[in-house]
Amino acid sequence: MNVFFEEDGSFKVASIMTETQGSLQIESASGKRSKVKASNVLMRFETPITGFMDAANAEANTLEVDFLWECCTEPEFGFEAFAQDYYGRKPTSLEAAAVALKLHSAPMYFNRKGKGRYKAAPAEILKAALAGLEKKRLLAEKMAGFVAQLKAQIMPDELLQKLDMLLYEPDKNAFEYKTLEAASAETHLSHLKLLQACGAIPSAENYHLGAFLREHYPKGTAFQEYEIDAIPDDLPLADAEAFSIDDSTTTEIDDAFSIKQLPDGISRVGIHISAPALGIAPDSPLDKEVMQRLSTVYMPGNKITMLPEAAIRPFSLDAGHTKPVLSLYLHVNADLEIVQRDTKVELIKVADNLRHDSLEPFFNETTLAADSGHPYWAKLLYLFNLAETLEKARGKYDPTKPPQIDYNFYVIDGKVSIVGRHRGSPMDKLVAELMIEANNQWGALLATHDVPGLYRAQSGGKVYMTTKAEPHQGLGVAQYAWSTSPLRRAVDLINQRQIISVVQNTAPAYLPNSDKLTMHMRNFEQTYQAYSEFQTRMERYCCLQYMIQENIESIHATVWRENLVRLDNVPYMTKVYGLPELKPGTRVSLQVQEADTLLIELRTKFIGVLEDEPAGVVDEDVLNEDSMNEDFADSETAVDLVAVDEVAVEANVETNA
């Protein structure tokens, strides 16, 4: 005697060896012996088991499931009784098994009610289930067609309609995502690279910008119409004219200088900062917009300003105009010692906007010894000498420190230019030291009058922001309140309001222990970090685009540590897999294998050591491990570096505007 039984959701046959009340010892056609519960046995038969299941499956394939469903009349039935009704006679064991197999294979048509027992699905439920099945079939056919198009590097229109989702906010349950995932698996390409190959990402630059805008500017970058307050008409006019020093692309000019000779050999140096705090009231509609943006966003060839143009122009220190400023006056004696400091809110006429590209040939390391013929040479030399004195007073003067290179990015008509310039050049040092002096002294002014402000501090190597005046060890100052870029940073605008309240003896906009001030500080920290990371990413993109543009096939580099190297002539650090163990500072030659501007990846191959070149200088203080770039990105010429010995050179000049 043989048995037809169910085990693990499938049907099997075997011969009975022995039988007890609750179980059977059986042997399969292959000779394997096992034990099966008596309750799992559906049918006993005498037909030989060899080939039985193959024959039953063949018979089951001749049965039409729709017809079987139509034949069902009873609410619940056993497969053997149903087989007898279907065949109109007592079925053979093979026919009964075929019916069981067919019923079991169509759960949509027949609901299982127990071992060997079934119930026909209600007509409406079956209709809905069949419609769903047909929908899945059609979707599968559609997906297969779309996958074929993607493999042929053709972007289906339906997927193109969902491109924003696919790029920036993938929905793994969406049909479009599953289609892209399937095509990606078959082509062995990442989603982004496959979309790029299909022409869905025509510009890697726009892709990176789009990701940033989606997160930080979901409503777009355009400004509404805002009104600014009228500038007070009782501000005194300064008795000197000012001049600024900026990159040629700078449009938000927020700092300038003046020099006036006073009696008794005293020179009065003026540091003049544009004063938008006079025209933007706290909690006004424009101020709320500023506190959302928090900073101008910089990227090579472009920027997203913190303020609308209508609010920039009345305060930008443009040549030929008289503008309101917050001024710090330094009274300097013949020994370049500062004997007096005064802060005023006033108007000043701006005589000139000096630009780096036209000024540097006349004012650099080699022109300090003799008059270069530039009309401002004497004033610039005096300010540079004062700057060195200030640097020495901070304990940061080190003429033996190896020179470092900063890079300016320019993008004109899609062509990238990367221009290197020495950090700490006379022009940069002049601006940087005077800005540090202003931020230090104005921070002290706030602290002295118990007026809260927003400070940058450094202790134990950690750089952080605080509402209290705390030392900045990296800069060597007792406090450091960002105050010199109010057109471009919300922190500076907030501090300017507080400083003006002290100068004019009015109530400050933010009182001690102000929750709003703390909220603005925290929001700024988070947002400014994100903006800096975005700027770094776009600069790295431009470095790769420059290599492609200039068809650079090999490049020299300096080993930083392990397999990390810093490339020559571009501010880019990358890992070289397969690089032999070399000492930091070793000069090497690399083959450029691939510059991927979409994934921001550079693939290089080690060629050899440059034996005839001296070892490069490795300064760990300028290494930012997160971005693998030379500096922690900032919007100004030289920046606060996140390093144990942080040196912030507040040149207050846009380099990537």
Cβ-based neighbour number of residue 272 at 10 Å: 28
End-to-end Cα distance, the chain? 91
Do the Cβ atoms of 52 and 65 come closer than 8 Å?
no
What's the pLDDT at 136? 86
Could you tell me whether strands 23-27 and 41-45 are parallel, antiparallel, or unpaired per DSSP bridges?
unpaired
Do the Cβ atoms of 501 and 451 come closer than 8 Å?
yes
Q: Residue 616: CB partners within 8 Å, gap ≥ 6? A: 558, 559, 566, 585, 586, 587
Beta partners for residue 347, in sequence order: 237, 324
What's the pLDDT at 33? 92
What's the pLDDT at 655? 39
- Chain centre to alpha carbon of residue 488: 20
Angle in degrees, 0-180, between the axes of helices 204-216 and 515-549, rounded to the nearest 10: 170
Do the Cβ atoms of 396 and 480 come closer than 8 Å?
no
What's the pLDDT at 137? 87
Q: Please return the burial class of 114, using the count of CB atoms within 10 Å of its CB with bins 0-12, 13-18 and 19+.
A: exposed
For residue 619, give Cα distances in angstroms to 414, 424, 462, 615, 645: 33, 15, 18, 13, 11
- Chain centre to alpha carbon of residue 396: 33
- HEC string of 70-135 equals HHCCCCCEEHHHHHHHHHCCCCCHHHHHHHHHHHHCCCCCEEEEECCEEEECCHHHHHHHHHHHHH
Q: Please return the burial class of 485, using the count of CB atoms within 10 Å of its CB with bins 0-12, 13-18 and 19+.
A: buried
CA atoms of 134 and 627, how far apart (whole Å): 50
Identify the segments of the chain with pLDDT beneath 70.
Answer: 614-657
Q: Residue 563: CB partners within 8 Å, gap ≥ 6? A: 575, 576, 577, 578, 579
